[in-house]
Amino acid sequence: MRQSRLNVSPQPEEVSRRAQRLRTLVKKADDHYRQGHRRRAIWYYRKALKLSPDHIAALVNLGLIYSMSRGKHATAREMLRRAREIEPDNPTVLFNLATLTAQAGDAAGAMALLEQLEQREPDYADLHYNKAYLFAQDERWEDAQREVERELDRNPGNMNALIMQKAIEHQLKNNSPEPPQSPR
């Protein structure tokens, strides 16, 4: 005869110890990440994810580390996709997933993610810069100009946006039709 085991919820002190362990792992991972020790950061983030597979910060940061590693872009996108499944409207997840999606060559997918982010948080840092970049890649110069201006309205000191603005202005000037010559 088989016996059935009673599922007992963990005691509060056990939950507290586990939460503290998770905080410690993520803090150590974050510290190593900031110091440029990627392998150590990866190790701690993976340990944190074993303890809590749905930990958004660990998924996002691990994805970002993988995005900087040769041959790990698919793994990076997978980490961010998992994070999006857990928190579909998380601005950090959407922004970083859009960036990786663009890097993978899917500009339309990246733009869709940025537009979803814009619905949630229209002033998100670098949102309009990234949209301008995608429009510029597609040679949609007026749209790119509009987005880079929106970025500079929010962050006038954004050097990347200022440089992009000049490049877009140059493209618009070079692509504009010549004014008609007056008869002599």
The whole-angstrom separation of Cα 175 and Cα 153 is: 25
Question: Is it the case that residue 184 has pLDDT exceeding 60?
Answer: no
Do 31 and 68 share a domain, yes or no? yes
Last residue of a domain, one of 77, 110, 143: 110
Number of domains in the chain: 2
Q: In this predicted structure, what is the pLDDT of residue 175?
A: 84
The whole-angstrom separation of Cα 4 and Cα 140 is: 65
Rounded mean pLDDT, 110-127? 97
Rounded mean pLDDT, 92-106? 96
Check if the beta carbon of residue 137 is closer than 8 Å to that of residue 172.
no
Query: For residue range 7-34, what is the model confidence (pLDDT) as tens digits?
Result: 445 567 777 898 999 999 999 999 999 9
Structural domain of residue 154, as residue ranges? Answer: 125-175
Do 78 and 158 share a domain, yes or no? no
Look at residue 98 and tell me if it is in a domain.
Answer: yes
Rounded mean pLDDT, 56-70? 94
Do 135 and 106 share a domain, yes or no? no
Look at residue 3 and tell me if it is in a domain.
Answer: no
**CA atoms within a 13 Å half-sphere pointing along the CA-CB vector of 102:** 20
Look at residue 9 and tell me if it is in a domain.
Answer: no
Q: What is the DSSP-derived secondary structure letter of residue 52?
A: -
Query: For residue range 149-161, what is the model confidence (pLDDT) as tens digits?
Result: 999 999 999 999 9
Do 101 and 29 share a domain, yes or no? yes
Q: In this predicted structure, what is the pLDDT of residue 2?
A: 47
Rg (CA), the chain: 23
Question: Is it the case that residue 129 has pLDDT exceeding 90?
Answer: yes
Do 52 and 103 share a domain, yes or no? yes
Do 97 and 171 share a domain, yes or no? no
The whole-angstrom separation of Cα 160 and Cα 174 is: 21
Look at residue 136 and tell me if it is in a domain.
Answer: yes
What value does the mean pLDDT of the chain take? Answer: 91
Do 106 and 129 share a domain, yes or no? no
Rounded mean pLDDT, 123-139? 96
Do 98 and 45 share a domain, yes or no? yes
Look at residue 120 and tell me if it is in a domain.
Answer: no
- pLDDT band, residue 1 (cuts 50/70/90): very low
